[in-house]
């Protein structure tokens, strides 16, 4: 399955929230959808889920107009919320049925996922009586229930302890094998880095970066080197160069006239005490800050 959003625009009165959004999400891999608070993530997700419609633009699935009612969609919103005074099991059944499952299907799916996320013993308890972590697992179960074709997860890891995070991670990896579309949004960049092949960064309603994460890193690191020096810290070679420090390392940009080889030769000739000499691959965190940070933070 290939979900494609083309030139999507949305305004709320005078506020132009989404500006010519273009996205491409393929099934079988986890898509990282990143953006700061208020960048337009939730609005675009809501349009995808047909809560409201875009002002212009097109959404297609495998080239055909996308009709959300034909697909099962699971959603874990960032703002968590379920009925605190009702029993967990009843709510899970309710949400599954609202999304089109029959009673029997809902029951079967609930049994499966509550076992997977280890909440089966809480099905008869009221949600408010559960610990925060367990409530979080109920919310996650809610998103997986009814085996959605498209699973949208907004900050799924918040509130999970490392053990539960691992359980969830495994479930996610297992789930993606079933040729599903998963859109994963988080501010915890380490998770996105470890999961997602493709990412998109949205900033002030515009997609500012999109593509394969490895390629993006490679591209953004082009012409840059990561150096680590030994005891003898003679930094005179840095004079007049574009560089910054990343903890112990020096991240340095080559001059247009230089090659990696000629620069290394120079360093060796100057007798610099070099411990490591690598291509520089920026972390997702750095990429994000560069693309979606405030203007004065931009590199």
Partner 1 sequence: MKQFKTVFGFELKNMLRSKTIIISTAILSIIILLATTIPTFMLWFSPGGDSGDEVNSGFEVLYDNESLEEALSGEFGKSDYTDINSLRAAIQKGEIEAGFVIHDFYDYTYITYDSSSSSMEQFNFEDKLRQLSQQRLFRQEGIDDAKVYEILNRPLKAESVTLGKDAASGLIIGYAFILVLYMLIVIYGTSVATSVAREKDSRTMELLITSTKPRTLILGKVAATGLMGILQVASIVLATLVGVFVNKANYPPIVFELIKDSMTLDTMMVYLLFSVLGYVLYLFIYASLGSLVTKVEDVNSAVAPITMLFVIAYLVASFAMQFPDNGIIKVTSFIPFLSIFTMPIRYGLTSVSLISLLSSSLIMILTLVLFAELSIYIYRFGSLNYGNRVKIRDIFKSFK
Closest CA to 148 of 195, 94, 115, 109: 109
How far the first Cα of the chain sits from its last, in Å, is 37
From 46-54, 156-164, 243-251, 267-275, give the range in contact with partner 1 by CB under 8 A: 46-54
Q: Where are the alpha helices (DSSP H) in the chain?
A: 41-48, 88-98, 103-116, 132-144, 162-176, 189-195, 213-221, 260-270, 284-292
Between 79 and 294, whose beta carbon lies closer to partner 1? 79
- Which residue in the set 49, 213, 254, 274 belongs to the binding site for partner 1 (CB under 8 A)? 49
127 vs 14: CA distance, rounded Å: 40
Tell me if 52 contacts partner 1 by CB under 8 A.
yes
Joined tokens for residue 89: 């099991």
Q: Which residues contact 70 (CB under 8 A, 6 or more apart)?
A: none
CB of 173 to partner 1, least distance (A): 25
**Shortest separation between residue 180's beta carbon and partner 1, angstroms:** 17
Contact 206, 229 (CB under 8 A): no
Residue 142 as a binder of partner 1 (CB under 8 A): the answer is yes
5, 23, 34, 73: which one binds partner 1 (CB under 8 A): 73
Residue 203 within binding range of partner 1, rule CB under 8 A = no
Instruction: Tell whether residue 82 is a contact of partner 1 (CB under 8 A).
Output: yes
Residue 51 touches partner 1, criterion: CB under 8 A: yes
Site for partner 1, residues 92 to 131, rule: CB under 8 A: 94-95, 97-100
DSSP secondary structure code for residue 38 in this structure: T
In the bound complex, what is the minimum distance in angstroms from residue 17's beta carbon to partner 1? 12
Q: In whole angstroms, how close is the CB of 281 to partner 1 at the nearest point? A: 37
Closer by beta carbon to partner 1, 49 or else 209: 49
Helices within 99-212 (DSSP H only): 103-116, 132-144, 162-176, 189-195
- The residues that touch partner 1, with contacts defined as CB under 8 A, are 13, 46, 49, 51-52, 73, 75, 77, 79-84, 86, 90, 94-95, 97-100, 142
């Amino acid at each position: 399955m290939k979900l494609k959003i083309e030139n999507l625009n949305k305004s709320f009165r005078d506020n132009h929230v989404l500006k010519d959004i273009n996205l491409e999400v393929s099934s079988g891999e986890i898509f990282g959808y990143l953006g700061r608070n208020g960048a337009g993530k939730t609005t675009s997700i809501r349009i995808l889920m047909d809560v409201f419609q875009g002002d212009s633009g097109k959404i297609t699935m495998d080239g055909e107009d996308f009709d959300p009612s034909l697909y099962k969609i699971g959603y874990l919103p960032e703002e968590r919320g379920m009925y605190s005074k009702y029993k967990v099991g009843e709510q899970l059944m309710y949400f599954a049925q609202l999304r089109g499952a029959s009673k029997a299907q809902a029951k079967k799916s609930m049994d499966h996922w509550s076992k997977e996320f280890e909440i089966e013993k809480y099905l008869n308890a009221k949600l408010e009586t559960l610990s925060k972590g367990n409530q979080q697992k109920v919310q996650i179960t809610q998103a997986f229930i009814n085996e959605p074709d498209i699973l949208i997860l907004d900050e799924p890891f918040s509130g999970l302890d490392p053990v539960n995070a691992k359980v969830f991670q495994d479930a996610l990896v297992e789930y993606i094998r079933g040729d599903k579309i998963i859109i994963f949004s988080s501010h915890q960049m380490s998770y996105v880095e470890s999961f997602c092949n493709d990412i998109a960064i949205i900033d002030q309603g515009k997609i500012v970066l999109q593509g394969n994460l490895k390629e993006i890193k490679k591209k953004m690191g082009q012409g840059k080197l990561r150096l680590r020096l030994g005891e003898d810290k003679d930094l005179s070679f840095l004079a007049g160069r574009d560089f910054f420090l990343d903890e112990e390392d020096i991240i340095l940009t080559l001059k247009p006239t230089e090659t990696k080889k000629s620069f290394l030769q120079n360093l060796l000739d100057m007798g610099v005490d070099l411990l490591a000499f690598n291509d520089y691959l920026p972390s997702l965190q750095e990429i994000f800050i560069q693309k979606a940070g405030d203007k004065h933070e931009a590199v």
